[in-house]
Amino acid sequence: MFLDQYFSEHNGKISFTREQGSDFAKCVADDFNPLHDADARRFCIPGDLLFSIMLSKYGLSRHMEFIFSGMVVAGVELVLPESLPDLHIKDTDDREYLSIHRSGDNSTDESMIQYLTRDYVEFSGHTFPHILVPLLAEQNVMINPYRPMVMYQSMIIDLDTLDIKKPSLEIDHNELQITGKRGNILLAFNLMDSGKVIGRGKKHMLVSGLCEYEQSAVEELTASFDRRKQLFSRDSDVN
């Protein structure tokens, strides 16, 4: 499985280094959220990496709900539970980070799951700046350029069938609700196969530290994102 290099597994437990989490974010998801930089003070493992590992371990069900309740940091050991309809991913101190509810038929087809995983995490990784910046701008707010905080909260997938060959994702619509300096974001998407809609999904995110929209600051934030991406690409080419 292509995910093997991004986590370690021993005696029914999985763990991550900062480098593994950062490499997954940048190399697989094309996600340059500063929270996933290996040297970030508030570093956390990408939620999409946890999502991907859970699909590889437990398969894809026709209905799945993922609720993230904690930030996984490097070195934390997560215990892989018995395969049940309700999964609770906890560390060795019984602190919960992710809960998963599953129902309906289940498939462990590795090829199909890998296609879905790659397409989903790339879609998810492009949330900023491609989706978030214009969505926030519509309500005259922006992410704090000095302390951007975008957190993964939950995700739901509903599939009409598991007879899928090469699934892909297409955006359906976005919603944003602002309360003070916080924004609750809904990204709704369709799952496609051979040009047909075969399922639907919703991703919920929280953005904190919102401030009044300023065009020059948005342009600099987006330019900084592009520079980070280009620098990583050049470093990867050299190595």
Please answer whether residues 107 and 115 qualify as being in contact, where contact means their C-beta atoms are separated by less than 8 angstroms: no
- Residue 222: per-residue pLDDT: 83
Q: Provide the token pair at 20.
A: 């593994």
The structure tokens 């609720």 sit at 67
CB atoms within 10 A of CB 212: 8
User: Using CA atoms, how far apart are residues 104 and 199, in angstroms rounded to an integer?
Assistant: 13
Q: Residue 233: name the closest of 50, 62, 27 by CA.
A: 27
**CA dihedral sign, ordered 210, 141, 203, 118:** negative
Q: Residue 124: name the closest of 218, 47, 200, 72 by CA.
A: 47
As a whole number of Å, the end-to-end CA separation of the chain is 23
The domains of the chain, with CATH numbers, are 2-238 (3.10.129)
The tens-digit pLDDT sequence of the chain (239 residues) is: 689 999 999 999 999 999 999 999 999 988 887 888 899 888 999 999 999 999 999 999 999 999 999 999 999 999 999 999 999 999 999 999 999 999 999 999 999 999 899 888 888 877 877 788 889 999 999 988 777 778 889 999 999 999 998 888 999 999 999 999 999 999 999 999 999 999 999 999 999 889 999 999 888 888 887 888 888 765 655 55
- Residue 235: per-residue pLDDT: 61
User: Using CA atoms, how far apart are residues 57 and 110, in angstroms rounded to an integer?
Assistant: 10
Please answer whether residues 203 and 186 qualify as being in contact, where contact means their C-beta atoms are separated by less than 8 angstroms: yes
